[in-house]
Amino acid sequence: MKNIDIIVPCYNEQEVLSTFYKTTDEIVGAIKDCRFRFIFVNDGSSDDTLLILKGLRSTYDNVDYISFSRNFGKEAAMYAGLSNSTGDYVIVMDADLQHPPILIPEMVQAINEGYDCCAAYRTNRKGEAPIRSFLSRQFYKVNNLLTSVKMPYGAVDFRIMSRPMIDAIVSMGEAERFSKGIFSYVGFQTKWIPYTNVERTLGVTKWKLRSLLKYAIDGITSFSVAPLHLVSIMGCLISLMAIIYGIYIFIKTVIFGVDLPGYASTVILLLFLCGVIELSLGIVSEYLARIFVESKNRPIYIAKENTLEDSEK
Ligand code: UDP
Ligand code: MG
């Protein structure tokens, strides 16, 4: 008998939670030789999510939940679930049924075949804002170019993982977490299964353009220092060009005397160099900010309620 925990981060998901539980429980209930338990993580919802979770817990005996003191973000919610799980395997999935529970039997099949992990990827992005798909594709390109942790385009946070893999992930205690990178960084044999994108029918997406941008920057700065190398290379090249240009001006002045016109080239050069300096400072600051956040060593989440701890007492 395998114990499998299903971790579900929830932020304002009151419309979908009951349907999610019923649909998923019915599917996993039919899987033999496995005992499933749901660990919902209420990420500081302002709607009735917690109330619904309490209701589910009192009605069904395979429901546990952790409730945060405020919104800490999906990454923190996933971490809370993983670090509190005790199952031999863990499934991570969204509450909005965009991660089709019907894939779970196939995932369990993969671990029976001996894989440590089975993860899903989308083959299309139907129903998503075109600007989001476009930016997302660019992000994967840049990310896979700059970092050594490769992520297939379309990879989502829907996966099953073995205990050794979960322990490895939890041991990475960074505060600014980028799970897609962490999943790939820890290694382990992963089977990828495709699925066609499902549109959200209940509730609304919680992602904003701004949080996606932060997500992208986190992704790159978590796993690559290539931008910092770029800054040094840029600095060297520009200094070299400045020296050559300096020598050229010096010789020109000595031979032809002082020549005043040159306003345009001066301004262009000035603007260009200022831009480069600003950009470099920005890149360095991104890393500095990460050091700042990590050095404070604050907890990744703060829970107000945790039924998993209650039951241990
Ligand atoms: N989520 C969360 N905390 C947040 C934002 C989202 O726990 O601050 C959860 C959300 O409840 C859902 C999952 O993360 O279960 C994915 O969120 P969403 O569906 O809004 O993102 P999308 O599918 O549009 O990428
Ligand atoms: Mg969604």
Residues 129-147 have pLDDT tens digits of 788 788 888 888 888 888 8
Ligand 1 atom closest to Cα of residue 95: 15
Calculate how far, in angstroms, residue 2's C-alpha sits from the geometric centre of ligand 2.
28
Residues 243 and 187 in one domain: no
Q: Does residue 215 sit within a domain?
A: no
Averaged over 241-257, what is the pLDDT? 85
Average pLDDT, the chain: 88
Residues 305 and 238 in one domain: no
Residues 112 and 186 in one domain: yes
pLDDT at 312 over 70: no
Coil, strand or helix at 208: coil
Residues 291 and 150 in one domain: no
Averaged over 8-24, what is the pLDDT? 94
Q: Does residue 243 sit within a domain?
A: yes
Considering every ligand atom shown, identify the ligand nearest to the alpha carbon of residue 81 and give its number: 1
**Distances, alpha carbon 30 to alpha carbons 23, 74, 112, 175, 290, in Å:** 12, 29, 16, 38, 45
Ligand 1 atom closest to Cα of residue 71: 8
Averaged over 300-305, what is the pLDDT? 92
Pocket test for ligand 1, best of 13, 38, 94, 179 (most atoms within 8 A of CB): 94
Calculate how far, in angstroms, residue 98's C-alpha sits from the geometric centre of ligand 2.
5
Q: Does residue 209 sit within a domain?
A: no
CA distance linking residue 8 with residue 40, whole number of Å: 5
Averaged over 50-64, what is the pLDDT? 94
Q: Does residue 219 sit within a domain?
A: no
Calculate how far, in angstroms, residue 95's C-alpha sits from the geometric centre of ligand 2.
8
Residue among 77, 70, 71, 65 at smallest CA distance from 37: 65
Cβ 104 vs Cβ 27: under 8 Å: yes
Calculate how far, in angstroms, residue 262's C-alpha sits from the geometric centre of ligand 1.
56
For the beta sheet containing 89-92, the strands, ordered from the edge strand earlier in sequence to the opposite edge, are 190-195, 117-122, 155-162, 89-92, 2-10, 34-42, 63-68, 303-306
Ligand 1 atom closest to Cα of residue 9: 7
Residues 288 and 303 in one domain: no
Q: Does residue 151 sit within a domain?
A: yes
> Ramachandran region of residue 117, left (φ > 0), alpha (ψ -120 to 50) or beta?
beta
Tokens read off for 307: 């039924």
Over its C-alpha atoms, the chain yields an Rg (Å, rounded) of 25
Residues 199 and 238 in one domain: no
SS3 sequence of 267-293: HHHHHHHHHHHHHHHHHHHHHHHHHHH
Residues 37 and 131 in one domain: yes
Residues 144 and 35 in one domain: yes
Pocket residues for ligand 1 (CB within 6 Å)?
9-11, 13, 43, 71, 73-74, 77, 94-96, 98, 205-207
Residues 140 and 108 in one domain: yes
pLDDT of res. 313: 44
Q: Does residue 273 sit within a domain?
A: yes
Pocket test for ligand 1, best of 6, 7, 11 (most atoms within 8 A of CB): 11
Considering every ligand atom shown, identify the ligand nearest to the alpha carbon of residue 156 and give its number: 1
pLDDT of res. 311: 61
Residues 303 and 291 in one domain: no
Residue that wins the pLDDT comparison between 109 and 212: 109
Instruction: Show the DSSP H helices in 33-100 as ranges.
Output: 49-59, 74-84
pTM assigned to the model: 0.81
Residues 238 and 176 in one domain: no
Share of the chain above pLDDT 70, in %: 99
If you search the block for the tokens 């509190």, which residue do you land on? 84
Residues 268 and 172 in one domain: no
Q: Does residue 216 sit within a domain?
A: no
Q: What is the CATH number of the domain that holds 56?
A: 3.90.550.10
Cβ 271 vs Cβ 42: under 8 Å: no
Q: Domains in the chain: how many in total?
A: 2
Calculate how far, in angstroms, residue 205's C-alpha sits from the geometric centre of ligand 1.
7
Residue that wins the pLDDT comparison between 234 and 310: 234
pLDDT at 209 over 90: no
Ligand 1 atom closest to Cα of residue 94: 15
What range does the domain containing 148 cover? 2-204+299-312
Q: Does residue 217 sit within a domain?
A: no
pLDDT of res. 265: 78
Residue among 166, 150, 284 at smallest CA distance from 225: 284
Calculate how far, in angstroms, residue 233's C-alpha sits from the geometric centre of ligand 2.
40
